[in-house]
Structure 1
Amino acid sequence: MKTQLLTTLENAKNYTLSVAEAMPEKGYPFKPTPAVWTFGELLHHIGYGIGWWEENYIKQRPSDWNPPAATTRKAATIAYLNQAFDALKENMENTPLSDQVVAGFYATIDHVTHHRGQATVYLRNQGIVPPEYVY
Protein backbone atom coordinates (compact mmCIF):
# COMPACT_ATOMS: atom_id res chain seq x y z
CA MET A 1 0.00 0.00 0.00
CA LYS A 2 2.77 2.44 0.90
CA THR A 3 4.48 1.80 -2.45
CA GLN A 4 1.23 2.64 -4.24
CA LEU A 5 0.84 5.88 -2.27
CA LEU A 6 4.42 6.93 -2.97
CA THR A 7 3.97 6.16 -6.68
CA THR A 8 0.80 8.25 -6.72
CA LEU A 9 2.68 11.07 -5.00
CA GLU A 10 5.58 10.89 -7.45
CA ASN A 11 3.17 11.00 -10.40
CA ALA A 12 1.37 14.00 -8.89
CA LYS A 13 4.68 15.78 -8.31
CA ASN A 14 5.99 15.10 -11.80
CA TYR A 15 2.82 16.23 -13.52
CA THR A 16 2.43 19.32 -11.35
CA LEU A 17 6.02 20.33 -12.06
CA SER A 18 5.48 19.70 -15.78
CA VAL A 19 2.51 22.06 -15.70
CA ALA A 20 4.59 24.63 -13.80
CA GLU A 21 7.43 24.32 -16.31
CA ALA A 22 5.10 24.65 -19.30
CA MET A 23 4.16 28.23 -18.43
CA PRO A 24 6.84 30.73 -19.42
CA GLU A 25 8.05 33.16 -16.76
CA LYS A 26 6.03 35.97 -18.37
CA GLY A 27 2.85 33.91 -17.88
CA TYR A 28 3.17 33.56 -14.11
CA PRO A 29 1.32 36.87 -13.48
CA PHE A 30 -1.49 35.81 -15.86
CA LYS A 31 -5.02 35.39 -14.58
CA PRO A 32 -7.93 34.57 -16.90
CA THR A 33 -10.33 36.84 -15.00
CA PRO A 34 -9.81 39.45 -12.26
CA ALA A 35 -11.60 37.33 -9.63
CA VAL A 36 -9.03 34.50 -9.56
CA TRP A 37 -5.40 33.96 -8.61
CA THR A 38 -2.56 34.47 -11.04
CA PHE A 39 -0.95 31.31 -12.39
CA GLY A 40 1.93 31.76 -9.95
CA GLU A 41 -0.41 32.32 -7.00
CA LEU A 42 -2.39 29.23 -7.96
CA LEU A 43 0.74 27.07 -7.99
CA HIS A 44 1.91 28.61 -4.71
CA HIS A 45 -1.47 27.70 -3.24
CA ILE A 46 -0.92 24.09 -4.31
CA GLY A 47 2.43 24.06 -2.52
CA TYR A 48 1.07 25.64 0.64
CA GLY A 49 -1.95 23.38 0.57
CA ILE A 50 0.23 20.27 0.48
CA GLY A 51 1.82 21.25 3.78
CA TRP A 52 -1.43 22.41 5.35
CA TRP A 53 -3.35 19.26 4.44
CA GLU A 54 -0.40 17.16 5.59
CA GLU A 55 -0.31 18.88 8.99
CA ASN A 56 -4.04 18.71 9.59
CA TYR A 57 -5.04 15.41 8.03
CA ILE A 58 -1.95 13.20 8.01
CA LYS A 59 -0.01 14.35 11.07
CA GLN A 60 -3.27 15.22 12.89
CA ARG A 61 -1.85 18.53 14.15
CA PRO A 62 -4.43 21.30 13.81
CA SER A 63 -2.93 24.16 11.86
CA ASP A 64 -4.54 27.45 10.93
CA TRP A 65 -4.74 28.44 7.30
CA ASN A 66 -2.09 31.15 7.18
CA PRO A 67 -0.25 31.08 3.85
CA PRO A 68 2.87 33.19 3.36
CA ALA A 69 3.05 35.71 0.56
CA ALA A 70 3.00 33.91 -2.76
CA THR A 71 6.20 33.40 -4.67
CA THR A 72 6.20 35.56 -7.78
CA ARG A 73 8.95 34.11 -9.95
CA LYS A 74 8.80 30.83 -11.84
CA ALA A 75 11.99 29.38 -10.33
CA ALA A 76 10.94 30.25 -6.77
CA THR A 77 7.48 28.77 -7.30
CA ILE A 78 8.89 25.54 -8.70
CA ALA A 79 11.34 25.32 -5.79
CA TYR A 80 8.44 25.84 -3.36
CA LEU A 81 6.45 23.06 -5.02
CA ASN A 82 9.44 20.72 -4.94
CA GLN A 83 9.96 21.40 -1.23
CA ALA A 84 6.29 20.74 -0.46
CA PHE A 85 6.17 17.48 -2.41
CA ASP A 86 9.49 16.30 -0.97
CA ALA A 87 8.37 17.01 2.61
CA LEU A 88 5.16 15.06 2.04
CA LYS A 89 7.12 12.17 0.55
CA GLU A 90 9.48 12.04 3.51
CA ASN A 91 6.56 12.13 5.92
CA MET A 92 4.72 9.36 4.07
CA GLU A 93 7.87 7.21 4.01
CA ASN A 94 8.29 7.58 7.77
CA THR A 95 4.69 7.44 8.98
CA PRO A 96 2.94 4.18 9.79
CA LEU A 97 -0.14 3.81 7.63
CA SER A 98 -3.54 4.05 9.22
CA ASP A 99 -6.96 4.75 7.78
CA GLN A 100 -6.56 8.38 8.86
CA VAL A 101 -3.15 8.76 7.20
CA VAL A 102 -4.38 7.21 3.95
CA ALA A 103 -7.51 9.38 3.95
CA GLY A 104 -5.39 12.46 4.63
CA PHE A 105 -3.01 11.54 1.85
CA TYR A 106 -5.82 11.19 -0.67
CA ALA A 107 -7.44 14.43 0.50
CA THR A 108 -4.09 16.16 -0.10
CA ILE A 109 -3.73 14.66 -3.57
CA ASP A 110 -7.34 15.57 -4.38
CA HIS A 111 -6.61 19.21 -3.50
CA VAL A 112 -3.51 19.18 -5.72
CA THR A 113 -5.48 17.64 -8.59
CA HIS A 114 -8.29 20.17 -8.29
CA HIS A 115 -6.00 23.19 -8.57
CA ARG A 116 -3.63 21.61 -11.08
CA GLY A 117 -6.65 21.15 -13.35
CA GLN A 118 -7.27 24.87 -13.06
CA ALA A 119 -3.63 25.51 -13.94
CA THR A 120 -3.99 23.52 -17.17
CA VAL A 121 -6.86 25.81 -18.16
CA TYR A 122 -4.59 28.82 -17.53
CA LEU A 123 -2.06 27.23 -19.90
CA ARG A 124 -4.72 26.79 -22.59
CA ASN A 125 -5.79 30.41 -22.10
CA GLN A 126 -2.22 31.33 -23.02
CA GLY A 127 -2.26 29.11 -26.11
CA ILE A 128 -0.08 26.47 -24.44
CA VAL A 129 -1.00 22.81 -24.75
CA PRO A 130 -0.66 21.30 -21.26
CA PRO A 131 1.72 18.40 -20.78
CA GLU A 132 0.14 15.02 -21.32
CA TYR A 133 -1.04 13.46 -18.11
CA VAL A 134 0.81 10.23 -17.35
CA TYR A 135 -0.48 7.80 -14.74
Structure 2
Amino acid sequence: MAGLDQNTPLPTEITLHSQSRRLELAFADGSRFVLPFEFLRVYSPSAEVRGHGRGQETLQQGKREIDVLDLQPVGNYAVRPVFSDGHDSGLYSWDYLYMLGERQDALWQDYLERLEQAGGSRDPAKAPPPAMSKTGCGHKH
Protein backbone atom coordinates (compact mmCIF):
# COMPACT_ATOMS: atom_id res chain seq x y z
CA MET A 1 0.00 0.00 0.00
CA ALA A 2 2.48 2.63 -1.18
CA GLY A 3 4.06 3.15 2.22
CA LEU A 4 0.86 4.03 4.08
CA ASP A 5 1.44 4.10 7.82
CA GLN A 6 -0.56 1.24 9.32
CA ASN A 7 -1.29 3.34 12.43
CA THR A 8 -3.03 6.11 10.49
CA PRO A 9 -6.82 5.92 10.70
CA LEU A 10 -8.60 5.76 7.36
CA PRO A 11 -10.89 8.57 6.26
CA THR A 12 -14.58 7.86 6.64
CA GLU A 13 -15.74 11.03 4.92
CA ILE A 14 -14.16 13.48 2.46
CA THR A 15 -16.18 16.55 1.53
CA LEU A 16 -15.13 19.30 -0.87
CA HIS A 17 -16.69 22.65 0.08
CA SER A 18 -16.18 24.75 -3.08
CA GLN A 19 -17.93 27.88 -1.76
CA SER A 20 -15.80 28.18 1.38
CA ARG A 21 -12.71 26.67 -0.33
CA ARG A 22 -12.22 23.94 2.26
CA LEU A 23 -11.68 20.20 2.33
CA GLU A 24 -13.41 18.48 5.24
CA LEU A 25 -12.11 15.11 6.40
CA ALA A 26 -13.43 12.71 9.01
CA PHE A 27 -11.25 9.78 10.11
CA ALA A 28 -12.13 6.44 11.68
CA ASP A 29 -10.66 7.49 15.05
CA GLY A 30 -13.20 10.32 15.33
CA SER A 31 -10.79 13.08 14.23
CA ARG A 32 -12.27 15.72 11.97
CA PHE A 33 -10.24 18.34 10.09
CA VAL A 34 -11.22 21.23 7.85
CA LEU A 35 -8.31 22.21 5.62
CA PRO A 36 -8.43 25.36 3.47
CA PHE A 37 -7.53 24.85 -0.19
CA GLU A 38 -4.78 27.46 0.18
CA PHE A 39 -3.21 25.47 3.03
CA LEU A 40 -3.37 22.26 0.97
CA ARG A 41 -1.79 24.00 -2.04
CA VAL A 42 0.98 25.59 0.03
CA TYR A 43 1.82 22.23 1.60
CA SER A 44 1.53 20.14 -1.56
CA PRO A 45 3.61 16.97 -1.22
CA SER A 46 4.76 17.25 -4.86
CA ALA A 47 8.45 17.48 -5.79
CA GLU A 48 7.65 20.83 -7.44
CA VAL A 49 6.78 22.34 -4.05
CA ARG A 50 8.81 20.27 -1.60
CA GLY A 51 12.00 19.89 -3.61
CA HIS A 52 14.21 16.89 -3.01
CA GLY A 53 15.36 17.51 0.52
CA ARG A 54 15.24 19.85 3.45
CA GLY A 55 15.79 23.47 2.48
CA GLN A 56 14.84 22.90 -1.17
CA GLU A 57 11.18 23.77 -0.71
CA THR A 58 9.68 26.36 -3.04
CA LEU A 59 7.76 29.00 -1.11
CA GLN A 60 4.26 29.20 -2.57
CA GLN A 61 2.84 32.68 -2.97
CA GLY A 62 -0.41 34.23 -4.18
CA LYS A 63 -2.57 31.21 -3.36
CA ARG A 64 -5.26 32.92 -1.25
CA GLU A 65 -7.94 32.54 -3.97
CA ILE A 66 -6.98 29.01 -5.07
CA ASP A 67 -9.74 26.54 -5.87
CA VAL A 68 -9.81 22.77 -6.13
CA LEU A 69 -11.46 21.92 -9.44
CA ASP A 70 -11.40 18.16 -8.95
CA LEU A 71 -10.39 15.63 -6.31
CA GLN A 72 -9.25 12.35 -7.83
CA PRO A 73 -8.93 9.14 -5.80
CA VAL A 74 -5.56 7.38 -6.08
CA GLY A 75 -5.96 3.72 -5.22
CA ASN A 76 -7.28 3.37 -1.69
CA TYR A 77 -4.52 5.37 -0.04
CA ALA A 78 -4.57 8.94 -1.39
CA VAL A 79 -6.31 11.71 -3.32
CA ARG A 80 -4.93 14.05 -5.96
CA PRO A 81 -6.48 17.52 -6.06
CA VAL A 82 -6.51 19.49 -9.29
CA PHE A 83 -5.96 23.13 -8.32
CA SER A 84 -7.17 26.12 -10.32
CA ASP A 85 -3.57 27.23 -10.99
CA GLY A 86 -2.96 23.97 -12.89
CA HIS A 87 -1.05 22.23 -10.09
CA ASP A 88 -2.08 18.57 -9.99
CA SER A 89 1.03 16.55 -9.14
CA GLY A 90 0.55 16.30 -5.38
CA LEU A 91 -0.55 12.92 -4.02
CA TYR A 92 -2.07 13.47 -0.59
CA SER A 93 -1.96 10.14 1.24
CA TRP A 94 -4.27 9.54 4.19
CA ASP A 95 -1.35 9.79 6.64
CA TYR A 96 -0.15 13.07 5.04
CA LEU A 97 -3.66 14.57 5.25
CA TYR A 98 -3.98 13.40 8.86
CA MET A 99 -0.61 15.00 9.73
CA LEU A 100 -1.67 18.25 8.02
CA GLY A 101 -4.86 18.25 10.09
CA GLU A 102 -3.07 17.57 13.36
CA ARG A 103 -0.36 20.16 12.76
CA GLN A 104 -2.43 22.72 10.83
CA ASP A 105 -1.98 25.66 13.23
CA ALA A 106 1.80 25.26 13.59
CA LEU A 107 2.32 24.65 9.86
CA TRP A 108 0.21 27.65 8.89
CA GLN A 109 2.11 29.88 11.33
CA ASP A 110 5.40 28.62 9.91
CA TYR A 111 4.20 29.38 6.37
CA LEU A 112 3.12 32.92 7.29
CA GLU A 113 6.50 33.58 8.93
CA ARG A 114 8.43 32.27 5.91
CA LEU A 115 6.22 34.36 3.60
CA GLU A 116 6.87 37.48 5.66
CA GLN A 117 10.63 36.87 5.73
CA ALA A 118 10.61 36.54 1.95
CA GLY A 119 8.53 39.70 1.55
CA GLY A 120 5.91 37.62 -0.21
CA SER A 121 2.14 37.80 -0.35
CA ARG A 122 -0.84 35.44 -0.20
CA ASP A 123 -2.63 37.66 -2.72
CA PRO A 124 -2.25 36.66 -6.38
CA ALA A 125 -1.91 40.26 -7.60
CA LYS A 126 1.04 40.92 -5.28
CA ALA A 127 2.90 37.65 -5.69
CA PRO A 128 5.88 37.44 -8.03
CA PRO A 129 5.45 35.31 -11.16
CA PRO A 130 6.45 31.68 -10.62
CA ALA A 131 10.13 31.04 -11.22
CA MET A 132 11.20 28.43 -13.70
CA SER A 133 12.15 25.14 -12.11
CA LYS A 134 15.81 25.14 -11.22
CA THR A 135 16.05 21.64 -9.80
CA GLY A 136 17.00 20.03 -13.09
CA CYS A 137 16.14 16.69 -11.52
CA GLY A 138 14.35 15.16 -14.48
CA HIS A 139 10.93 15.20 -12.83
CA LYS A 140 8.03 16.60 -14.80
CA HIS A 141 7.28 19.91 -13.04
So what's the TM-score if we normalise by structure 1? 0.32
Q: Relative to total residues, which structure has the larger helix share, 1 or 2?
A: 1
So what's the TM-score if we normalise by structure 2? 0.32
The answer to which structure, 1 or 2, has the higher relative contact order (CA under 8 A, 6+ apart) is: 1
